[in-house]
């Protein structure tokens, strides 16, 4: 591809987000069309990654917020109270074998996942409940995309729990 063509075919991030939203909406309207199954599966897998990235973003922002809040409460400075974390965008950048793509999930799902990550970070819910709620959201997306394949989400929380449990068991075992 010539340099001239490459420069003028680059799309802005905003255009790519709109295209991602359009692709999702198009895929939900073309359910039952066998030829689009691969496309819909790709969107479902991107939605899984989007959910996980949104969850982790919420966890990170909540942790930063709590640290700021503690320093605000501990200090005598007259600074403004920090704003609680909030979802910035329902689109996420995802690295694939073919480069970076933008994944879209509906705003209400992204908002729910973000709140879920905040609740998890604040220890309001446990990992199994977070996994269950996130899984039900991904299942809704898969249903909308007419995907009958089970796609697991937030598997890293299960791994963390297993490692924590194994560590607890090992530390409680009597030494010989």
- Yes or no: say if 43 and 27 are a contact pair by the CB < 8 Å rule: yes
State yes or no: pLDDT of 7 exceeds 50.
Answer: no
Helical ranges in 30-154 per DSSP H: 37-74, 107-121, 127-144
Cα–Cα distance measured from residue 161 to residue 88, given in angstroms and rounded to the nearest whole number: 29
pLDDT of res. 10: 64
Residue 21 lies in a domain: yes
Q: Is residue 93 part of a domain?
A: yes
Residue 136: name the closest of 112, 156, 102 by CA: 112
Instruction: Determine the Cα–Cα distance for residues 93 and 89; give it in Å rounded to an integer.
Output: 11
> Structurally, how many domains does the chain consist of?
1
Burial 77-92 (b: 16+ CB within 10 A, else e): eeeeeeeebebeebbb
User: 87 falls in which pLDDT band (50, 70, 90)?
Assistant: very high
> Which residues, in sequence order, are CB contacts of 94 under 8 Å at separation 6+?
46, 49, 50, 53, 100, 101, 102, 103
101, β-bridge pairs: 94
For the chain, give the mean pLDDT. Answer: 86
The answer to the question of residue 140 being in a domain is: yes
pTM of the predicted model, to two decimals?
Answer: 0.83
Domain of residue 71, residue span: 12-172
Q: How confident is the model at residue 5 (pLDDT cuts 50, 70, 90)?
A: very low
Domain membership flag for residue 90: yes
Examine residue 4 and state whether it is found in any structural domain, yes or no. Answer: no
Residue 130 domain-assigned (yes or no):
yes
Tally the residues of the chain: 176
Residue 112 binned pLDDT confidence (cut-offs 50, 70, 90): very high
Q: Is residue 3, in this structure, part of any structural domain at all? A: no
């Amino acid at each position: 591809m010539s340099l001239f063509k490459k420069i003028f075919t680059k799309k802005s991030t905003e255009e790519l987000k709109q295209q991602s939203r359009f692709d999702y909406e198009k895929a939900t309207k073309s359910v039952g069309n066998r030829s689009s199954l691969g496309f819909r599966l790709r969107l479902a897998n991107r939605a899984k990654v989007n959910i996980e990235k949104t969850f982790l973003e919420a966890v990170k922002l909540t942790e930063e917020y709590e640290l700021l809040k503690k320093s605000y409460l501990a200090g005598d400075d007259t600074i403004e109270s920090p704003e609680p974390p909030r979802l910035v965008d329902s689109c996420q950048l995802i690295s694939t074998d073919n480069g970076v793509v933008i994944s879209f999930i509906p705003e209400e799902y992204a908002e729910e996942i973000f709140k879920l990550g905040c609740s998890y970070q604040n220890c309001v819910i446990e990992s199994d409940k977070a996994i269950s709620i996130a899984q039900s959201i991904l299942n809704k997306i898969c249903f909308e995309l007419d995907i009958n394949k089970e796609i697991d989400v937030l598997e890293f929380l299960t791994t963390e729990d297993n490692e924590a449990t194994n560590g607890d068991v090992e530390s409680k075992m009597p030494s010989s």
